Structure 1
C-alpha cells in the first residue's frame, strides 16, 4: 500500500510540474493581439496638471501562451505619457508574457506642459503604445487635448509652508486658517481669454472688486474656492448665451475636465461672501460640483442686498446649494438644484426676496434628510449656546419648491426672534401624510398673509421637469406650474425667463417658461 501511495505521489508531482512548466513555454507574439479600444482619449487636461488614469485591455485570443517582445510608447522615454504594464511602471517594456485566452491591463497617464509646444492656448498631443516591431507591430493611439490656463495659488515659503488666510480666532485665542492668498490688483479682472485655475482660496481684499467677464471659466482645485472679504465685492458679469456652449455664461466648477467628473459633487469648496462684503452681483452664472455653492454671512448694513443673484444656476453641491446666515439676498430667475442636504438654507434670520426661482432637489448620491428649502431664525452651536436673529422677511413669489422627499419646505422658529415669510403664486411640494404639521401654526396654509391663496400646496408630483438627473428643470406642457404666476407687476429683470423667453400673463412659475418635450 505504501509503495502504491509513493508511486502515486511521484506521478502526481510529475504531472503538476509538467503542467506548471507549460505556463512558461511561450511563443513570440505574431501580431494577433486584440484591444478594448483602438484609441485612448485622455480628454482635456490643464497644462502641468496630471490626468486621470485610463486603462486599455489587451487580449490574447489564441491557444498559445505568448511573449510580447516589446511594449513601448512611440516617443520612448521622451513621451509625455506614462504606462503601467502588468503592475510595472515605465515607458518601455520587454518580453511581457500573456497566457492563452487571457488578458492584461495597460494603464495610461499624462502630464504635459503646453509651453513645450507651439500652437496657442490649446494643443493636441498624441503618441501611441506600440506592441512589438516590424511586421508584427500593432498600435493603440493616445490623444490628449492640453488647455493653457491662468493659475492662481498661494505662495510656498522657503521652509516648505504654504501661505494661509486667517478666518478668525476662537474664545481660547486659537486661529482658524485656510490655505489661500489675497488677489493682487493685477489679478482682479478675470477675462474669457483663458480658463482660471485656483489652488487654495483666492481672497478679494478690503475695498477691492473682483470683476469676472462674460464667458469666463473658473476652475477650483480640491479644497479651494473664492472668499470675498470685508468691504470687498464680487461682480460676475455673465450674459445670455445663444448656443449650447453657453458662451456668455460664467461657469464655476472643479479642475478635473474628464467627462467622468462632469457631475461629481464636492470637488471644491465654496464661494464665500463673508461678513461685511458688499454689493455682490452674480449674473448668468453656473456654479456646480461644490461643497457649498454660495455661502453668504450677514449683510453690509445698507438697505441694498449684499448679494443679487440673477439668471443663474447652482447644482450638484455635496452639502448646500445656497447657504445664507443672517444674509440679505435678492434672487431672480435662478435655479438651485440638487444638493446633499438642502438646496436653499436660510439660517439665523436675515432678509430675502426670491422671484421666479426654481428650487428642486433630486439628489441621488446618498440618503437626504433635509428638505429642499429650510428657513429658521437661530443657530445652535451646542453646550446650550443658541444664537437668534430675526428673519425680517423671506418673500417667495412665482417660485417652485420640489424634490424627492414628501415634505420639501421646513420652517423652524426660536421664540427669541421673529420668523417672517410669505409665499405668493408658488408651487410647493408638501405631502404631510403622517399629519405631523396639522397643528403647527408655521404651516397654516389657509393664512393668506403667509401663504397667499394663489400658492398651491401639492401632495403629488406634477412638476414635469425635463430631466432631473441632469439638473434640467425646464418644465413641460403638463406641469402644474404653468399659468399660475403673476409677472407683469414684477421688475423688468423677470419679464423674460432664464433663457430670455418673454413671459406670458398669467406666467408660468419658476425660472423657466414651459416647453413641449420631444418624445
Structure 2
C-alpha cells in the first residue's frame, strides 16, 4: 500500500509541473498579424463574400490569454468571424501558447446602403485586447449595387420552397424537362425593363433568364452581366439578342460588354465553368454580338439550329471568349457569320461546328491552350451523315487556328463529299502529324483545293504564331509571327482588327494586327 502512495505522489508532482507549463498570462498587446488591413474584394450587395484569413502570432515566450477579440461594430457588424473553429463576432479569453499562431476566418454580407456613399466601401475593425493595450486590424470591402434577376419562389407547407421553372420540352419518356429560371419582363416592378440592359449598374442573374418569343434583349455598350453558378441566358423561338458593345479607350474595357460569373474576387477572374451558357435556341433570329468579352462559362455560346434562310442566325464581330470548361462556341446545324472572333482555353474545343450547318469566319483567332493533351481548336462534323445534317459551308478566311496539342483541327465526315463543304483560305493551321497517321486522310491534304495558300505548322518550330502569352489569353501576334503579312487582302480591305486598328496591305492572319511586344 505504501508503494501505491509514493506512485500517487509522483504522478501528482509530474501533473502539477505540467500544468505550470500551461499557465496563461493576460495579453499585453504584443500580438503580430499577417496583415494590417484585410481587403475583402468587391462583392455585390447582399451577396456573401469568399472566406478570407488573418493569421495572428504570439511571438513571446509566454502563454497568453487575449481578454477579448471582437468586431468594432460588435454584433451589429456585417462581418463574420471564426476564431479557433467557433463562429461569432465577440470572443472572450482566447488562449494562445508561446511562439504559436492561429487563423481567424473572415466573411462579409452587406448592403450598399451600409457603405460610405462617397466610395461604397464598407469598413470595420477587429479589436484584440481591451483598454490601452488594444490592437486592431482594419477590414475593408467594396460593395457594388446591381440589378438582380432570379426565379420567384413559393414556400410550401413543409417550409421547403418551390422555384419558378422554365419548360424546355419533354424527354424520351415523355417527362417535362425543366430548369430553374425566369422570363425577362419589360415592366418588372423592381428592375424596370429587363429587356434593355444598360450600363448604369451590373446585372446579376440566378438560374436561366429567358428572352421570350417576339422580343429582343438589347445590351448597351459598357454593360456588365454576371451569372451565378448554373445560370445563363436563353433566347427563345423568334426572339433576338443584340449586344451593342463598342471599342474601348483603356484597358478597363469601359465600352465593351462583359458576360462573366458573379464572383468578383481576383482569384476567380480566370476560373472556367463558373456558369452555364448563352443558348440561342432553334428559331431565334437576328442575333448580333459586337464587342463582347465572355469568360468562364461552361459553354460560351450554344447555337442550336437555324431559321433555314440565307440570313445568319448569329452575326459576331469583335468577340472574345475565354476559359470555357467545355466549348467556346458550340453550334449544332448553326448559321453563323463572324469576324475578329478570339477564342482560347476551352476544355474540349474552342469552336465546334457540329451537325452540319452554315459558317463563315474571317480574320478570327481560334486557339486552345487548355492544359490537357486532348483538346483542339476547331471541330467540324456532319453527325451521322444524314443529308439533314449537311455541312453547307464552313469558310475560314485569314484565320489563325492553333493549339497547344498537335492537332488544332478535327474534321469528321460521315456523309457524302457533296454534303461536307469546307474551305480554308490563307489560314495558319497547326497540324503536327508526327506519326503520319493522317497522311492519306482525304480531309487533311493541305495542298488540295480546300486549302488555299495556307501555312501549316507541322512542328513546334515552323510557322509559329508568336503569341504574346497564350496561357493568359494574350493572343496578340509579334513581329516574328508567321501570320504577319500572310493574309489575303481581298478579305481584309476596309476592315479593322479587333482593337480597331486599320488593316493595310500586306495584312496579317488572325484577329490582331502584329505588334511589337514590350
Matched residue, 1:460: 460
- Alignment of 1:164 onto 2:165: yes
Instruction: Indicate whether 1:328 and 2:328 are aligned.
Output: no
Question: Are 1:374 and 2:379 counterparts?
Answer: yes
Distance 2:7 2:489 in 1: 92
Where does residue 486 of structure 1 map in the other structure? 488
Q: Deviations over 1:317-338 (max 9, x none)?
A: 0111110000000110110111
Counterpart-to-counterpart distance in 1, 2:454 and 2:112 = 58
Aligned to 1:52: 50
Q: Secondary structure of 2:153's partner? A: coil
* 1:10-89 superposed matches below 5 A: 13-14=11-12, 16-18=14-16, 20-89=18-87
Encode CA deviations 1:81-134: one digit per residue, 9 max, x unaligned. Answer: 0000010100000000000000000000000011345627x6101000000122
Q: Of 186, 189, 198, which residue of structure 1 is paired with 2:196?
A: 189
The corresponding residue for 1:293 is: 300
Q: Secondary structure of the residue that 2:56 maps to in structure 1?
A: strand
Following superposition of structure 1 onto structure 2, how do residues 96-135 of structure 1 map, counting pairs within 5 Å? Answer: 96-116=94-114, 119=117, 123-135=120-132
Give me the CA root mean square deviation.
2.0
**Structure 1 residue 13, shift from structure 2 partner:** 3.8
CA displacement, residues 109-167 of structure 1 (integer Å, 9 cap, x when unaligned): 000011345627x6101000000122211000000000000000111124320011111
| Aligned residue number for residue 478 of structure 2 | 476
CA distance, structure 1, for counterparts of residue 325 and residue 123 of structure 2: 36
Evaluate the alpha carbon distance shift between residue 217 and residue 15 of structure 1 in structure 2; reply closer, same or farther with a 3 A threshold: farther
Per-residue deviation, 1:352:
0.3
Distance 1:376 1:66, change over 3 A: same
Q: Tell whether 2:282 aligns with 1:275.
A: yes
Aligned ranges 1:220-231 → 2 under 5 Å: 220-231=227-238
- The alpha-carbon deviation at position 419 of structure 1 amounts to 1.5
Structure-2 residue corresponding to 1:146 = 143
1:326-475 to structure 2, matched below 5 A, reads 326-364=333-371, 367-378=372-383, 389-415=389-415, 418-447=419-448, 449-460=449-460, 462-475=464-477
In 2, distance between residues paired with 1:291 and 1:357? Answer: 21
**How many Å separate the matches in 1 of 2:460 and 2:16?**
71
In the other structure, the counterpart of 1:213 is: 220
- Are positions 1:203 and 2:210 aligned together? yes
CA separation of 1:181 and 1:411: change in aligned 2, threshold 3 A: same
Secondary structure of residue in 1 paired with 2:483: coil
Residue matched to 2:189: none
Could you tell me which of 251, 254, 263 is aligned with 1:247?
254
User: Which residue number corresponds to residue 178 of structure 1?
Assistant: 179
Aligned equivalents of 1:511 and 1:204: distance in 2? 30
Q: CA deviation at 1:8?
A: 9.8
Kept after mapping to 2: 8 A contact 1:346/1:374 = yes
> How far did 1:301 drift?
2.0
Name the SS of the counterpart of 2:298 in structure 1.
strand
Q: 1:334 aligns to what SS in structure 2?
A: strand
Aligned equivalents of 2:393, 2:6: Cα separation in 1: 91
Q: Distance in 2 between matches of 1:212 and 1:330?
A: 20
CA contact (8 A) 2:427 2:453 kept: no
In structure 2, the CA distance between the partners of 1:15 and 1:506, relative to structure 1 (3 Å rule), is: farther
User: What CA distance in whole angstroms lies between the structure 1 residues aligned with 2:14 and 2:432?
Assistant: 69
Alpha-carbon separation, structure 2, partners of 1:55 and 1:319: 32
Give TM-score scaled by structure 1 length.
0.93
Q: For the Cα contact (< 8 Å) 1:375–1:410, is it kept in 2?
A: yes
Alpha-carbon distance between aligned partners in 2 of 1:404 and 1:8, rounded to the nearest angstrom:
76
Q: Deviations over 1:395-422 (max 9, x none)?
A: 0011111111011111111126821111
Q: What secondary structure does 2:471 align onto?
A: helix
Q: Distance in 1 between matches of 2:409 and 2:10?
A: 74
Report if aligned partners of 1:340, 1:368 keep a CA contact under 8 Å in 2: no
Counterpart residue number, 2:513: 513
Indicate how the Cα distance of structure 1 residues 19 and 396 shifts in structure 2: closer, same or farther if over 3 A, else same: farther
Which residue of the partner structure matches residue 190 of structure 2? none
Q: CA deviation at 1:466?
A: 1.1
TM norm structure 2: 0.94
Query: What does residue 383 of structure 1 align with?
Result: none
Aligned residues: 505
Q: Give how far 1:463 is off.
A: 1.4
Change (3 A) 1:363 1:9: farther
Aligned equivalents of 1:487, 1:328: Cα separation in 2: 25
**CA distance, structure 1, for counterparts of residue 286 and residue 358 of structure 2:** 15
Asked whether the 8 Å contact 1:427–1:458 carries over to 2, the reply is: no
SS in 2 for 1:316: strand
Give a deviation string over 1:376-410, Cα, whole Å, max 9, x none: 10069xxxxx8961011110011111111011111
